[in-house]
Chain A
């Protein structure tokens, strides 16, 4: 770990200005991702700008939907009555993540920007295209049991976002509010926020240098109210998903009016599946439909030696999640 200076910002303007003055600076929220990476010498920052005092707070209903401040803590949001009621899948994705201690520290913004658990990325002794572009990807022929089968490239097969929340956000059309150093805000749907690795796995999101995540807004829908997040892991708690599914269904008299499907643990980014949604929409809410949807979702899967199991596991996870919300 290198020496660094530490400053605090109380407004977005202050934070972005400090960031402009020191290009290698990083924002620090809960620090649960950032400090791990710095301690392992995977990221070096000359300055940490503490953004915990920024007013990106609150969980409230707006005309666009439910707005969650980026500085809210995972536990607080997961347990929030409105989130539980309007977006059960979002609540569950938060409360099934990490450990209580981490969830009390970790922020929503930081969660969205957490980084891959690919073991090669996490150890600077290994080559890794994401960390050192062009150095190679040992995971292709190596330990890829927890890596992606969808959206992969020859350069990288990591689940760049290994967590849970963004999977639920992806399913329910969340929109991120970002603010750049010039004080300008823009709105980016989560489905467009994360990038596929392609030939540039080092580029993971569309966030510009110095840009802050201000808030997440989730449109209110019937299918989001009837939603769940199912997470599969070999350890009962405190583990990343081997596969997960965030699903929502609007079922009326046995027919699916609207459906949302996103998968975690299997894609190089949180994996929205329009293919599955297409199968589901207008179809009867039966196991046969769910199976067909799951098959469609995994159609393009490209498994490797140690993550072949994910094709079946992800399908079964999705089917189970759909069964749970269909009731």
Chain B
């Protein structure tokens, strides 16, 4: 497109614009009536066979053989695939080089069924493919696996675990100043060790793959992918095929929270199984397999030391994290980032230690790093507030970072102070009793807590296409996915506004790699990237029509300069004399154009800002703006009330307020759901979510939704969610920041801080279950 006409900042084009309106989900009806097809529901493929995994009982060992005699006798069994007979991938992630070739789409540097080694409990060791799911399941139950077991390592808490510093001394974050010295001489010194239980994403829809080889070298996969292009690339690399020979489709996704961001073993193994049996094959992970199939948030321990002046100004932050990783990968969430950037603090240092254990590789889960990191930091800030004797909001204002302390850059926009203020108003924070342990409701102890939220704007880019028909309909497309968050809906709104149409005239298509490539729906990048590419694609379509108009002798705009023409609600007109112009439909009809197509690349974050800067730069400062001049983040504040039963140890959240500044809010209804969802997930992490691993056998003891507790309705109070109106011209063409992850950041600390206010006890180990509350209450306050 003609970049010179790229508008620096989105202005809604329709009056009244539908962007910013609480449009109900455009796919809502399809979902509640069962019309929406999820990835495990493509049963139309001829000869579709079903695969199930046989998984390992032990967490470590070697496969010495299989007894498939009984399994093979089950009618309908097509193949029993193991490392001995499965066709192997062209490139496997098992070596660092292989993993590098495959790229970001594969998180785990180990593919089961490629050797006789067992590295973690419930690792797939065989696949049974049969004509029906029931036959496959039955045969898998009958398949016997002979194993020579070895003693496994369970976690970082296991004395056997090999510990190492993956940075080799370089530290885990951008350090500054001499934090150790600053801490040592600080008048106030606080230190705390925080543990975070192992958590699982547990989206409602399990991971599922249906693999169909349309030709010997052409693959179609229906999968549960948050990132279409990542999966396409990783599969094509592993199979040694050009990317265009691999098509991935994900029309609907039942949640992901990060676990569907990578191509996990079941996908490539199903693809290989389909090759082996020469039929389309479907595999859906069972709920127990979801605990060992698509990663998790690692179990971790953080020690945070905080030094401050007598009146509470931060002087030093020292952070250390230890967490469990797999035998091959060095993955850990980067907790240090938020600790280094959230408050003004001259000295900061972070260290990371990993411990190898017999677990699969952990992965990013909603606000990876920021969620557990903020638990430590925001609990410590609360301690500081009490220590100094000021209000928790006051201590945060006192340490407010006017610039990003980790980079020194100004913020592209930051409305955190407004979030505190509005949140306090909505919550009634001014009524707070400054003393903890003072408020009662009958036998219950009542406490209020708050915490800051922040999540970075990652840099992303992606393409979109818009096709406008002369009859006033339009289709917009991008290979994004909708996790259930409302992507279909908000992109329909963006396209409608950009084209001056009502949303019922616009359809947004996503979830297919044949569509224009875009960013993964993860890292809170989708709304910002896709909205801006859709918007710009519409502008591209208008530019094409403007060219047609100025060359058309019958158009009122004949021989006008394209730059002098604007489009308002579908009418092409002269900027100077808006009376002179015509409707797009009239123009297209006369020109014999049934449709016109626009295509554009949208950029989000630093990539947008630097491109804009390059465009507007004078020749002498060109190239200076590579990484963007601003630090870009969403911010927010969470407030909650808890009631603690001091005799029974139970904690219930009874009131919740979240105020978020996330740039332009495309749709307050779907955005509110995002914030509520994040906050509820945070309440889960704070009070109940934990996957328990047996420390001797290194196997989970609660891999089911009956035993792994997530909040139910009764755990969730009425929630108040508000957004601060924020205009950010540096983020992208739309002024949109991500909100999917900022929603959870700080939530566990808000709950913990409220518990502290209620009881006078600081609980630093998540989840805060009744046993821990009773334990704490037995100690002196």
Contact = CB atoms under 8 A, between A and B. Distances in A.
A145 interface: yes
Contacts of A306: 771
B712 A235 contact: yes
A1 B286 CA distance: 13
Given A2-B138, A123-B701, A142 B695 contact: yes
A309 to B, nearest CB: 4
B687 interface: yes
B771 A309 contact: yes
B707 A119 contact: yes
A309 B696 CA distance: 22
Interface stretch (A9-17, A59-67, A167-175, A315-323): A315-323
Interface string A130-161: 00000000100111010000000000000000
Contacts of A235: 687-688, 709, 711-712, 714-715
Interface stretch (A104-112, A206-214, A215-223, A237-245): A237-245
B244 interface: no
B707 A313 contact: no
Contacts of A125: 56-58, 121-122, 699
Given A1-B138, A309-B770, 19 more contacts: A1-B141, A2-B138, A3-B134, A40-B288, A119-B700, A122-B704, A123-B699, A123-B701, A124-B57, A125-B56, A126-B699, A232-B648, A235-B688, A236-B715, A242-B770, A309-B771, A312-B774, A313-B771, A313-B774
Which applies to chain B's interface (DSSP): helix, strand, loop or mixed? loop
Interface in A1-57: 1-3, 40-41
Nearest to A1: B137
A233 B770 CA distance: 8
Interface residues of B, number: 44
Interface in B686-701: 687-688, 692, 694-697, 699-701
Which of A119, A138, A235, A317 has most B Cβ within 10 Å?
Answer: A235
A194 interface: no
B769 interface: yes
14 contacts: A1-B138, A119-B692, A120-B701, A123-B703, A126-B57, A138-B694, A232-B648, A234-B770, A235-B712, A235-B715, A242-B770, A312-B778, A313-B774, A320-B647
Contacts of A316: 647-648
Contacts of B712: 235-238
Contact of A117 (B138, B703, B706): B706
A237 to B, nearest CB: 4
B650 interface: yes
B441 interface: no
A28 B476 CA distance: 52
Contacts of A41: 141
B754 to A, nearest CB: 16
B703 A234 contact: no
A309 B649 contact: yes
Nearest to A146: B707
B774 A309 contact: yes
Contact of A142 (B56, B138, B696): B696
Given A41-B141, A145-B771, A234 B687 contact: yes
A314 B357 CA distance: 36
B718 interface: no
A1 B774 contact: no
Nearest to B770: A234
Which of A138, A141, A238, A242 has most B Cβ within 10 Å?
Answer: A238
Given A2-B141, A143-B694, A309-B649, A234 B688 contact: yes
A116 B732 CA distance: 55
B702 interface: yes
Interface string A289-327: 000000000000000001011001100110110000000
Nearest to A125: B57
